[in-house]
Structure 1
Amino acid sequence: MSINIDSKLNDQECLWEVALKGELDVSTADKLKEYLHGLADQDMIDIKMDFKDLEYIDSTGLGVMIGVLKKLKVVNKEIYIINPRNNVRKIFTITGLDKIFKVEG
């Protein structure tokens, strides 16, 4: 499986906009982990992640998301998740992570 990651810095809203396409699982989680930690190392600001084209996420992917969120929380920043598909939203709801992450749309 594969994942494509696209990001840009939104200066007006002072956040990173990150779009994921594909599947976030054990085979792609390290790529996302390195990518997101790299963004946070550049600028510790909120991250808005668009999950519109994310087809699947597993526990390894959730772990990456939690790790990055912990890093951001140290400086009172958040990860916002927008446009999750129903199956991805369901995983966040079942695990209770919809109460930890800001899930919208």
Structure 2
Amino acid sequence: MARLDRTTDTVTVVLTGEVDVLTVDQVRSALAEAIAARPRSMTVDLSDLSFIDSTGLGALVFGFQRARDAGITFRLSRPTSGVRQILVVSGLLEVVELED
């Protein structure tokens, strides 16, 4: 579901499969662990994510807010078309940076 990749200044959280009420705790834990590493920047890779529900969006907001409070740049990366549509409709992309 969630995997961390670390370089010296960047932590990437890779989300795979589906993020929903059954898996959101794993995502929150991975985001919290990434923030605890105190990187300069943090990227959430969505390229292998097939679905995200409102609880998953809430976890991304949680990660964004915690990273911002810690002075860590937070961005989303490479969402699939279906996930991108959910991010757009939710309004999350109005506050969180997106890399393609």
**Structure 1 spans left out of the alignment, 5+ residues:** none
Aligned partners of 2:3 and 2:30 also within 8 Å? no
1:33 matches 2:28:
yes
1:6 matches 2:18:
no
**Structure 2 spans left out of the alignment, 5+ residues:** none
1:55 matches 2:67:
no
Aligned partners of 1:48 and 1:80 also within 8 Å? yes
- Taking structure 2 as the reference length, the TM-score comes to 0.90
Aligned partners of 1:19 and 1:51 also within 8 Å? yes
**Count of residue pairs brought into register by the alignment:** 100
2:55 partner letter: T
1:85 partner letter: T
How far off is 1:75 after superposition?
A: 2.9
How far off is 1:55 after superposition?
A: 0.3
Measured in 1, the distance between the counterparts of 2:5 and 2:25 equals 20
One of 34, 58, 70 as aligned partner of 1:75: 70
1:91 partner letter: I
1:41 partner letter: A
Measured in 2, the distance between the counterparts of 1:104 and 1:42 equals 22
Q: The residue matched to 1:90 in structure 2 has which SS?
A: helix
1:88 partner letter: V
1:72 partner letter: A
1:6 partner letter: R
* Farther-moved stretch of structure 1 (80-89 vs 70-79): 70-79
